[in-house]
Structure 1
Amino acid sequence: MTGESVRPGRRPAKYVLFDVDGTLIDAVDNQRRVWRTWAERYGLDPDEVHRVALRTRPMETFAQVAPGRDPHACLAALHELEDEDVRSGVYGAFDGASELLHALPPGCWALVTSNYEHRVRGRFLRTGLPVPDVVVDAEAVEEGKPSPVPYLRAAALLGAGPEDCLVIEDAPSGVRSGLRAGMTVWGVNAADPVEGVHRHFAGLREAVPDILAFASGG
């Protein structure tokens, strides 16, 4: 995690907190491929493993699909595959992501991810996306999404109150995290609205003008 709060100065009127995978970076195929390789290594059904992995954190996934295996060894194998995928996998940013992030003023936005910062930086480097001053990753908090802790941590590092923060998410656990943090939550990149979102956009591109307007205090 980028651990230092944003330097004092003229404070932004509003703040935007982004999820990463599924929101800014299209990594669905990568995640499926990584979990398939992992499952095959352990002689498990790849489709079942991926189904569980979509709704649980890795340690919870291992407990369900491989209860007799050492969870730490399982996690080490998964991390190895994920790091290799960052180095060699094919990634794409969602339409509108580059325009949006380059247009946001420094100090008014952050990334809040269940992944690890070094992987986020690798993916952003390969897709040409800028990295903000504040990145809250899996190592930064003891409780991940849907707990409100990750988004509250990002707001604190930015010096922002929850009422001044907009969360951009694609997944139910992230939406719940933002709502529990007392923030405005908009959903993107889904055909149907995730339960609880204040606004829904089928694609990130559609949301760009409204996100920029929010960030400017408009």
Structure 2
Amino acid sequence: MTGGPRGKYVLFDVDGTLIDALSNQRRVWGTWAERYGLDADEVYQVALRTRPMETFAQVAADRDPRECLATLHELEDEDVRSGVYAAFDGASDLLHGLSPGSWALVTSNYEHRVRGRFLRTALPVPGVIVDAAAVEEGKPSPVPYLRAAEALGAEPGDCLVIEDAPSGVRSGLRAGMTVWGVNAAVAVEGVHRHFASLREAVPHILAFASSEASWTAPSPS
């Protein structure tokens, strides 16, 4: 796969970074909670902080976690088919502006759902998608971002990670990559640059990818 100019690469998180799926996630978890007779708001607050299996252990310890996960997956797949999705402002311009082979998606979701959401929002799909099934260790482990870099033929130091969440930021930093945060009023701890919105970050990301900007990532504190 051919890399971008001068070996610059951009690795994107998906939910919360390129796709605005917050209301979808809340709706899915709300429906899941109703099926188990649980308080939807309480379940969602736990789900925001933990991975699904950890969420089940906290809110439905008396239930079979495999059954809980199967129900969640069923609801998430249905949401991809029938839910309303929106890409963040600037996402389409950004992804269409990047050279093929110079960018990838790194998500804690599953590839078929990402493809479904990108189809619904008319976003281009890259050749490399590292999803939850591709790695044994998810974010905040560095493994997902390192796997994406390897698939692109990139060195970690040539990669820019775009993230919105603390676990993803830690993952990128631990992989030895430059990490910029987007779509948050307050910067996530450790990011090298922060943008309140993806739209604000677009010209800077494109400049990095085309080597129009010289950027050396300082060591995270």
Aligned to 2:216: none
Relative to structure 1, the CA distance from residue 56 to residue 103 in structure 2 (aligned partners, 3 Å threshold; closer, same or farther) is: same
| Unpaired segments ≥5 residues, structure 1 | 1-6
Aligned to 2:219: none
Q: Matched residues in 1 for 2:6 and 2:127: separation?
A: 14
Structure 1 residue 9: deviation in Å?
7.3
Aligned with residue 179 of structure 1, among 173, 188, 193: 173
Read off the aligned partner of 1:140 and give its amino acid letter: A
Q: Tell me how many residue pairs correspond in the alignment.
A: 212
* 1:93-112 alignment, distance < 5 Å: 93-112=87-106
- Does the alignment pair 1:63 with 2:63? no
Task: Give the percent of matched residue pairs that are identical in Structure 1 and Structure 2.
Answer: 83
C-alpha contact (below 8 Å) 1:12/1:108 kept by paired residues: no
C-alpha contact (below 8 Å) 1:12/1:107 kept by paired residues: no
Read off the aligned partner of 1:118 and give its amino acid letter: H
Q: Matched residues in 2 for 1:8 and 1:165: separation?
A: 15
Aligned to 1:125: 119
Partner SS, residue 20 of structure 1? coil
Q: Matched residues in 2 for 1:19 and 1:43: separation?
A: 32
Structure 1 residue 197: deviation in Å?
0.4
Q: Matched residues in 1 for 2:118 and 2:182: separation?
A: 19
Aligned to 1:192: 186
Partner SS, residue 75 of structure 2? helix
Aligned with residue 150 of structure 1, among 119, 141, 144: 144
Aligned to 1:167: 161
C-alpha contact (below 8 Å) 2:2/2:102 kept by paired residues: no
Relative to structure 1, the CA distance from residue 14 to residue 87 in structure 2 (aligned partners, 3 Å threshold; closer, same or farther) is: same
State the 4+ residue runs in structure 1 displaced beyond 4 angstroms: 8-12
- Does the alignment pair 1:51 with 2:16? no
Q: Matched residues in 2 for 1:148 and 1:10: separation?
A: 22
Structure 1 residue 56: deviation in Å?
1.0
Partner SS, residue 106 of structure 1? coil
Structure 1 residue 13: deviation in Å?
2.1
Structure 1 residue 55: deviation in Å?
1.4
Q: Matched residues in 2 for 1:11 and 1:133: separation?
A: 17
